[in-house]
Amino acid sequence: MGPEFVAGRRVLIVGGGYIGLEAAAVAAKLGLSVTLLEAAPRILQRVAAPETSDFFRALHGENGVAIIEGTGLASLRGTGDGAITADLADGRVLNVDFVIAGIGVAANDRLAREAGLACEGGIIVDARGQSSDPAIWAAGDCTVLPYRGAMIRLESVQNAIDQAEAVAANMLGAEADYHPKPWFWSDQYALKLQIAGLNTGFDRVVVRKAEGATTCSHWYFKGETLLAVDAMNDPRNYMIGKRLIEAGRSPEAAVIADPASDLKALL
Ligand SMILES: Cc1cc2nc3c(=O)[nH]c(=O)nc-3n(C[C@H](O)[C@H](O)[C@H](O)COP(=O)(O)OP(=O)(O)OC[C@H]3O[C@@H](n4cnc5c(N)ncnc54)[C@H](O)[C@@H]3O)c2cc1C
């Protein structure tokens, strides 16, 4: 952490994904004045349901972070005295001391394309990790790989490790398909978010929260199929959700929604 992170300084964080929100949490905890700007209508829109966005908006609000959603950054101007003026797309003007950009990445697959490999925002591989050239294998963030009938890119440490091990075994002749088990986490303030599965294509979210509880979980379904779980300080239900998803089992939404039900009995 650089000397920018000093109590009282004003920081603008551009981007309300997990990276921007984690940066906001660190800055707010250290006593900086934090404004977070998100161009989409809500923070976490790309990766989470409105329920989860609402949860994190409230969490950051309680910790003094000002969140501006639905407008992007138009320009940044130095003021000459070391400060920065940020012009927002909706005409608002913010004066800050420094800016953090957490606006995501696009995979650069130029080298692989020039080598003649089939690519689509990453190197396309089959379930064994083989690219369109049978002599070339790939694993990790750079790959576009099959997952439950779709082609996805997974940016996570666990996937990079698991896929690399599977691909190495296949290079040695194992001939075993790799089945990703997506899971992610994010630490913000005293909150640990754990995510099991991938929510892509969900059509409803079931909230599990006991009256007055500070922990909760959001369960993503597509039809009757459980896709993913966001667990907020709720490791028990995260683990249950993860095991259900990995086993391809989908509990009834009504059971999930009832905080008195014993989810462990579903395993
Ligand atoms: C800010 C940030 C926070 C993150 N937080 C989390 C988290 O909380 N949990 C989580 O699971 N994941 C997180 N991730 C994602 C995680 O870092 C990646 O999924 C993981 O590092 C992928 O591993 P990898 O080996 O595929 O790629 P990388 O770790 O990116 O390694 C690729 C390496 O290849 C090198 N390289 C690239 N091109 C060439 C070339 N042409 N020749 C030689 N070398 C080359 C690169 O320099 C790099 O060292 C985060 C990522 C970022 C950026």
**In order of start, what are the domains of the chain with their CATH numbers?**
10-101 (3.50.50.60), 110-171 (3.50.50.60), 183-266 (3.30.390.30)
List C-alpha distances in Å: 104 to 14, 155, 178, 186.
10, 11, 27, 16
Predicted confidence at residue 2, as pLDDT, reads: 53
All residue ranges of the chain with pLDDT < 70 are: 1-2
Give the predicted TM-score (pTM) of the model. Answer: 0.91
| Residue of the CA atom closest to atom 12 of ligand 1 | 156
Average per-residue pLDDT for the chain? 96
- Residues forming beta bridges with residue 11, ordered by sequence position: 34, 98
Closest CA to 158 of 198, 207, 201: 198
Nearest CA to ligand 1 atom 39: 111
Closest-CA residue, ligand 1 atom 6, reads 156
CB distance 16 to ligand 1 below 6 Å: no
Pocket test for ligand 1, best of 103, 153, 157, 186 (most atoms within 8 A of CB): 157
Q: How far apart are CA 156 and CA 182, in angstroms?
A: 8
Q: Is 17 in the pocket of ligand 1 (CB under 6 A)?
A: no
